[in-house]
Structure 1
Amino acid sequence: MTEPTTEPPSGRDRLRELLDAVLSEENNRLSEMAGQAHASPFHFSRVLSRDTGESPVALRRRVLLERAAWQIGQGTSVTDAAFAAGYESVEGFTRAFARAFGHPPSATTAGSGRWLPAPNGVHFHPPIHLWVEEHPKGRPSLDVTGLQVHHDVDDTALLIRLAADLPEAEYRRVREPGRTTLTWDGPEESIAATLDRLVRAKEMWLASIEGADTPEHGGDGPESLRLRHEEAGARWIATVTDIGRRDAWGDRLIDALCDPPESFLLGGVVAHVLTYSAHRRQSVRHMLRAAGVEVDHGDPLEWLQGRYERDRYEHS
């Protein structure tokens, strides 16, 4: 048998594989769980305990008790729930259930709380899924705005890198004649023009927020865009982070770069940038594919999972 590896992830969610092995209906013993995960019992227990703060047997027992509580609340008999949870007798199940929940199974109702204390946030989620709460070991809560801002910056950098490998003619080729995202920005008919607008939007809004003059319009070649984006992307993340820290989403910005000047809510500015950036990034993807470049979907779910797996690997 092979042991759990510490190699970088390759599209696999190793922790989910371990949890699946723990919670499989067919795996009642530690040796069976480890066998499904292609690991020795010792290493299986060590890796899962390290990653979840709970032994495989304890995690399985707790999650199956949570499932039993839900089943009983839905009308399943105590006897059926007991055997489904792997107990050999109703009496043993009743004792374990009462110790865990503070009341006997017979007192469980549909509205009863069904989650037990857990060191890892992993719980049963009906009808057959798992739910993972915010990690209790100091992991920061997931701020959706922050996620979108970081994903936007990372994804734009990826698209600029991919475009840099294109021949100049393909990079500047008009692929969507007449396409305009925002009328005041003009046509965005090529990969070059669309990437330029992606970066330019942040440069302009940052100048407005900072009260600076209209920034010079830099070059739109891949290397120039890369440098512009590195600078603007870092400032944009810092600016949005500061707005969130101060809870200043409702503050008004008087944008003197508009003619005549206009006022905007800071929260609206961030939403505006994220909305049209997402649109432009997908437009660039369509054009890159038309140019024969393989590119992913730009899905923040995949991006976030990749970051999570990399973080786990780097700290393992």
Structure 2
Amino acid sequence: MVPDNPAMKGDAAVQAVASQPWDPSVKSLVAFPALLAMMGENPPWVENLGNAFLAQPHDVMDSVQRLRAIAQQTGTLKSTPQQKVIVTPAAPVSASSSTAATATAHTAAPAPTQVIKIEPTNPQVVYVPSYNPSTVYGTWPNSAYPPVYLPPPPGEQFTDSFVKGFGYSLGVATTWALFSSIDWDDDDHHHHDDDYHHGDYSHNGDNININVNNFNHITGENLPENHVNWQHNPAYRGHTPYPDNTVAQRFHQTNVSGGLSATQHAPVDREAQRRSDDPAAA
């Protein structure tokens, strides 16, 4: 859709895919063609990142905070005309969180002691960042697992910020294309408490807060105000396998309210839709 409509972005792009059988979180991405173009440069990395989040959500979120702290120490993460950087103390880990972490048997680094948030300076204009990890983080601590660099894609306009190797796309004006936000203030408290709940696994999304008003614009639905947490829905995964049996069993055996990731209607059969759209299949 994006290559065929290169000028479409923001709310208009989201409206154009309203009828597609995609999860609302995916529909919201078409508002930002520069972001999709970078993701398209390395689909295996995108899939691996998603699998890592499903398997160890709090470890992934803690890693984000550790990397932001490194970038801040090198002087490459700071407020700019495009973004504002906010630093607050991390919420204390509760006793129930410690118990849950033990139950999941994850071996993880200590949680960060501060929370670094990055938000648009203007809430209605989003700039997609692009940066060389060597520039932003300096010497990578684990040479056996070097970082992935997604350079600005051909044809997309990016401008350097205060340091070469770190820049932004053109701003995308949007009123309601931002599907959700991360509740960083509650990340340590919630995410460490999500994986194991009442003897079963939950869906690892309790601190990814859906913007209900934006969601309703994207989907045309009327999501109730008390339903604001994103949850993974196996139905949208199609035939893509999970990274291991533990993760697969977790989501296949857990009952999601409504069976959907933040939408009240069953996903469309994508294969059937493709066949109906293909004249050769008629």
Q: TM-score, normalised by structure 2?
A: 0.23
Instruction: Tell me which protein shows more helix as a share of its residues.
Output: 1
Instruction: Tell me which protein shows more strand as a share of its residues.
Output: 2
Q: TM-score, normalised by structure 1?
A: 0.21
Larger radius of gyration: 1
